[in-house]
Amino acid sequence: MAKYANVIVDISHEKLDKTFQYLIPEELQSEVKEGVLVEIPFGHRNITGYVVEVTDEVEFEESRLKPLHNIKKGSVPIESQLIALAAWMRRNYGGTMNQALKTVIPIKQKTKAIERKTLRLLLSREEAIHTLAKYEENKRTVARAKLLRELMEEMELDYTLVTQKLHISPAIIKSLEKEQILAIDVSTEYRNPVNHLESKGYHLTLNERQQAVVDQVTENMDEGISKTYLLKGVTGSGKTEVYMELIAHTIAMGKQAIVLIPEIALTYQTVMRFYNRFGDKVSIMNSRLSPGERYDQYLRAKNGDIDIMIGPRSALFAPFSNLGLIIIDEEHETSYKSETVPRYHARETAIERARMNHASVVLGSATPSLDSYYAAKQGEYELLELTQRVQEKPLPTCEVIDLREELKNGNRSILSEKLQMLMEDRLNKKQQMMLFLNRRGVAGFMSCRSCGYVVKCPHCDVSLSQHNNGRMVCHYCGYEEPAPTKCPSCGSKYISGFKAGTQKIEQIVKERFPQARVLRMDFDTTRTKDSYEEILQTFANQEADVLIGTQMIVKGHDFPNVTLVGILAADMSLHVSDFHAAERTFQLLTQAAGRAGRGDEPGDVIIQTYNPEHYAILTAQEQDYESFYEQEVTYRMLMSYPPIWNLLVIMCTSEQEGQLEFATKKVFGHLEKTLKTEERLQGERIQLIGPANATISKVNDVYRKVIYIKTKEYQNLVLLKEQMEWYIRDNKDFQNVSVQFDFNPMNGF
């Protein structure tokens, strides 16, 4: 039983950055835990504070510590739960308590009252129809037509929603106000993106399969059984409708719900579906909110003004007092893992938060992560399935093109003969197509264009990465060899790094099909705030024939007129030096393929590859998740990778190369020693690998080295992490070296 409590005082006064230590009186030692609200002496006053840590480590002179008075009686404030969650995150993912606290609780901003503007239609129905017809005739008034159509539907629209989600410029709104087509109403209140919408309570009648899934969850809820469910449902099987029904049930029970959706899929259409059903009980969070707006959303949740919080990862920390349900859509997405300390995974953290609240968790995906499906197979999650699309649309036909054959036949273009033929055909039929380049991170691998051979690490079975010095390096173990000049397998000289960008492809397509209207969506074209949705909107309006892009284009909107999807080089994601490579490839291919044939016309999918026999490609072609899973899990088992084992990456960084080298060796040495001496680790199978250079071994003049630890039990890794944290703390060898921990990383290092 711990003797000391580290306490932060009165959060609402911005004292997030300091803890104070108190003695825990003996009679309270069993009750004082992380997150508990306690009464403490502070200066000459008595105030309250939250216990953020209980420990046996004294931070000051014991004689100078004061005992805390009491545990505060009465209702448990919501913050205590989030603090307990932060403590859990700190323990399980590393970093400081402050970093964890800042992740779960937004810092209070002094916010002045905010003006909220709403647009109101001033025209009668007839006048509106007449004006709309006029706008629709003229190419230059497309935006006006769009706004008017939306206003005719809703009568009132939130100003920021119109500018941010519909992309109507303030100038246009102003001129419509001048022409007395609309009025702008101003009011002051909480910043709420879509406050004035009336809930229409609109909902579809679920089909039998959807209803069965809903019943299975709600029956448990009603009996007070909370679980984690994995809803595996093909795209278009009606998962979102299922979520909404579960949310309605949750609200009817007097509880609240959190819905996590990857930011990139958080489009106007998605958000409107929730508003149409639940009205202003909904709030959204996204990365564009200012800290002040973020804090307002936090208050609205805390005050009980809303019941549903929708948003990316961080929406998980909405301070609902009676949380009943957490939904994580597209649960396989890597964006659910934080890339900053604490590097938490939203799925695991959601499950922990749900456990604290006795709430249910529903994970949804058409292509569940290997982690989740494995957990479902182990009986940890309950598996729910939707195997058919709502409107019985057939899945598209899918053909694999062997690029090695194309090369043999003298076609050195990135567009295979078959793909060119189909593109020609679709252009003639005025149908649309998407060309997809599944680039991911740094694709530094080398492959042979004649036989498909890829240079791999003999120890780790991941691709070696090309370095500038002409050597091939493994980022899991540091193994190196010189880059080959001819293929070790077939002797061909066509062995090289894989380089092709979306820009190059755009150029090739425009040369080959001068008549085609081509749009490109990638990191470069989506830098500005709303360009992502603008491009999607342009394509949806059929103002372009071809959309070329990276993974960004496989999410979000439905394009019924798309009847051809070309995946240009499936290999690009297959050989990145990351043990998830096959899983990501399968997910991307399946999702990209799912874009074709969503309208009335059937669709074709072309997958181009140098490795037509790879299981990730074959199973994606067949849209056969089970078969992919079986083969992938075998690989993970053989190599002791997650989800079978757990993996901890210790990343050391420094501007001083020499010091980094020294410190990393120190960490490694101390790890080796700990494995030998730590009692709790005796008899455990633990692999220590490294130190090696990180995939990107130098960023902005900061050098990066990694150490890997593999073991079956996650808690072994937590224990080792704690030992390392203690070792590093106040150790002068680490003055200029930063050490970070990443548990089961999602993106290779």
| Site residues (vs Zn ion, CB under 5 A) | 448, 450-451, 453, 457, 459-460, 474, 476-477, 479, 487, 489-490, 492
CB nearer to Zn ion: pick between 474 and 509? 474
CB nearer to Zn ion: pick between 441 and 599? 441
Positions in 388-427 near ligand ADP (CB under 6 A): 390
Sign of CA dihedral 403, 406, 412, 418: negative
The least distance separating ligand ADP from the CB of residue 323, rounded to whole angstroms, comes to 23
The least distance separating ligand ADP from the CB of residue 215, rounded to whole angstroms, comes to 14
Task: Count the alpha carbons within 13 Å of 152 in the hemisphere toward its beta carbon.
Answer: 17
CB nearer to ligand ADP: pick between 162 and 386? 386
Distance set, CA 726 to CA 94, 158, 359, 648, 743 (Å): 12, 52, 35, 17, 18
Interface mask (CB under 6 A) for ligand ADP, residues 510-539, using x and -? ------------------------------
CB nearer to Zn ion: pick between 358 and 459? 459
Name the binder of 476 from Zn ion, ligand ADP, none, CB < 5-8 A by kind. Answer: Zn ion
Interface mask (CB under 6 A) for ligand ADP, residues 200-239, using x and -? ----xxxx--x----------------------x-xxxxx
Beta carbons within 10 angstroms of residue 160's beta carbon: 17
Single out the residue of 519, 560, 544, 541 nearest to residue 166, CA to CA.
541
Report the distance separating Cα 629 and Cα 635, nearest Å.
10
Report the distance separating Cα 68 and Cα 49, nearest Å.
10
The least distance separating Zn ion from the CB of residue 559, rounded to whole angstroms, comes to 38
Name the binder of 122 from Zn ion, ligand ADP, none, CB < 5-8 A by kind. Answer: none
The least distance separating ligand ADP from the CB of residue 12, rounded to whole angstroms, comes to 39
Tell me the residue type at 541: N
Helix H or strand E segment including 640: none
The least distance separating ligand ADP from the CB of residue 233, rounded to whole angstroms, comes to 5
**Residue 269 interacting with ligand ADP (CB under 6 A):** no
Name the binder of 210 from Zn ion, ligand ADP, none, CB < 5-8 A by kind. Answer: ligand ADP
The least distance separating Zn ion from the CB of residue 491, rounded to whole angstroms, comes to 7
Name the binder of 466 from ligand ADP, Zn ion, none, CB < 5-8 A by kind. Answer: none
Report the distance separating Cα 187 and Cα 134, nearest Å.
32
Name the binder of 693 from Zn ion, ligand ADP, none, CB < 5-8 A by kind. Answer: none
The least distance separating Zn ion from the CB of residue 658, rounded to whole angstroms, comes to 25
10 Å CB burial of residue 304 (0-12, 13-18, 19+) is exposed
The least distance separating Zn ion from the CB of residue 474, rounded to whole angstroms, comes to 3
Q: What is the DSSP string of 597-662?
A: T-SSS--EEEEEES-TT-HHHHHHHTT-HHHHHHHHHHHHHHHT-TTTSEEEEEEEEES-HHHHHH
Helix H or strand E segment including 476: none
Single out the residue of 128, 164, 173 nearest to residue 149, CA to CA.
128
CB nearer to ligand ADP: pick between 206 and 663? 206
Single out the residue of 693, 88, 125 nearest to residue 444, CA to CA.
693
- E-strand stretches of 429-529: 432-436, 446-448, 465-466, 471-473, 480-482, 495-497, 518-521
Would you say how long the chain is, in residues? 749
**Residue 241 interacting with ligand ADP (CB under 6 A):** yes
**Residue 490 interacting with ligand ADP (CB under 6 A):** no
CB nearer to Zn ion: pick between 509 and 706? 706
Chain Cα centroid distance, residue 16 = 27
Name the binder of 42 from Zn ion, ligand ADP, none, CB < 5-8 A by kind. Answer: none
Name the binder of 204 from Zn ion, ligand ADP, none, CB < 5-8 A by kind. Answer: ligand ADP
Contacts of 549 (CB under 8 A, 6+ apart): 434, 435, 436, 437, 502, 520, 521, 522
Name the binder of 238 from Zn ion, ligand ADP, none, CB < 5-8 A by kind. Answer: ligand ADP
Strand 182-189 and strand 114-121: the pairing is: antiparallel
The answer to whether 457 and 477 are in contact (CB under 8 A) is: yes
The least distance separating Zn ion from the CB of residue 696, rounded to whole angstroms, comes to 17
Name the binder of 241 from Zn ion, ligand ADP, none, CB < 5-8 A by kind. Answer: ligand ADP
CB nearer to Zn ion: pick between 335 and 496? 496
Report the distance separating Cα 318 and Cα 353, nearest Å.
11
Q: Which residues bind ligand ADP (CB under 6 A)?
A: 204-207, 210, 233, 235-241, 390
